[in-house]
Amino acid sequence: MYEVVTITKVLSKKRVEVVCSSSACSGCKGSTFCNTKGKKFEVSNTNNLELKSGEEVSIFLKPSRTIISTLITLIAPLLLFPVGYYLAKAISLTEGASFLLGLCGILLGFVFVWLYFKKTESQYLPVVESVIEEED
């Protein structure tokens, strides 16, 4: 999926901070679920383009990576609920305690997901594809 964003800051040669423009948000298919509307986020500059603050660029969000990251974020914690629940049942804890340990499993899952994305952050970042030339 391609989107048009505006560069707010060049962090390094390989990474820039961008913000979605309101015109890009109105045409985006994911605008209903988007958590970056009006927020700044980082984008990878793997093509080594010469970028400056204020420029509009086209970024590419690989759909498969977007789907995989969503699945990891949601499914990993949910899979740990039954693990915590049945471990508590195996050691003869009450129903309430088993439920609480299941919830602790979900919390632990979110911690694992957060650590995973901290470690592999760069592979899930959108990539700057091109600079959009201003029409004079």
Q: What is the pLDDT of residues 60-118, one digit of tens each?
A: 888 888 899 899 999 999 999 999 999 999 999 999 999 999 999 999 999 999 999 99
| Residues facing residue 105 across a β-bridge | none
* 57 and 72 both lie in a single domain: no
57 and 24 in a common domain: yes
What are the pLDDT digits (tens) for 13-38? Answer: 889 999 886 555 565 655 555 655 66
Domain of 40, in residue numbers: 2-62+125-131
9 and 54 belong to one structural domain: yes
For the chain, how many structural domains are there in total?
A: 2
Q: What was the pLDDT predicted at 133?
A: 79
| CA distances (Å), origin 46, targets 10, 73, 77, 126 | 13, 25, 31, 10
Are 69 and 114 within one domain?
Answer: yes
Q: Is residue 136 part of a domain?
A: no
